[in-house]
Homo-oligomer: A and B are copies of this chain.
Amino acid sequence: MEKVNVIKVGGAVVEDASSLQTFLTQFASVEGLKVLVHGGGRSATAMAARLGIETKMLDGRRITDAPMLEVVTMVYGGLVNKNIVARMQAIGLDAIGLTGADLDSIRSDKRPSVPIDYGFAGDVRTVNGHALHTLLAAGFVPVMAPLTHDGQGQLLNTNADTIAAEVAKGLVPYYDVTLTFCFEKKGVLANPQDENSVIPRIDRASYDALVADGTLTGGMLPKIHNAFAALDAGVTRVVITSAANLNGGSEIFKNEE
Chain A residues within 8 Å of B, Cβ to Cβ: 47, 50-51, 70, 73-79, 81-83, 85-87, 89-90, 94-99, 101-104, 134, 138, 140, 147, 149, 151-155
**Copies of this chain assembled into the complex:** 2
For residue A76, give the distance in angstroms from its CB to the closest CB of chain B: 7
Task: Decide: B90 and A79 in contact? CB cutoff 8 A.
Answer: no
Contact of A151 among B50, B90, B103, B151 (CB under 8 A): B90
What is the predominant secondary structure among interface residues of chain A facing chain B?
helix
A73 CA to B26 CA in the complex, in Å? 26
A82 CA to B153 CA in the complex, in Å? 10
For residue A101, give the distance in angstroms from its CB to the closest CB of chain B: 4
Task: Decide: A94 and B104 in contact? CB cutoff 8 A.
Answer: yes
A154 CA to B78 CA in the complex, in Å? 14
**If the complex has contacts A152-B90, A153-B90, are A82 and B97 also in contact, measured as CB distance less than 8 A?**
no
23 example contacts (A-B, Cβ-Cβ < 8 A) are as follows A50-B51, A73-B78, A73-B82, A73-B83, A77-B78, A77-B79, A77-B97, A78-B79, A82-B99, A83-B155, A85-B101, A86-B101, A86-B155, A89-B104, A89-B149, A89-B151, A90-B151, A94-B103, A96-B96, A96-B102, A96-B103, A97-B97, A138-B138
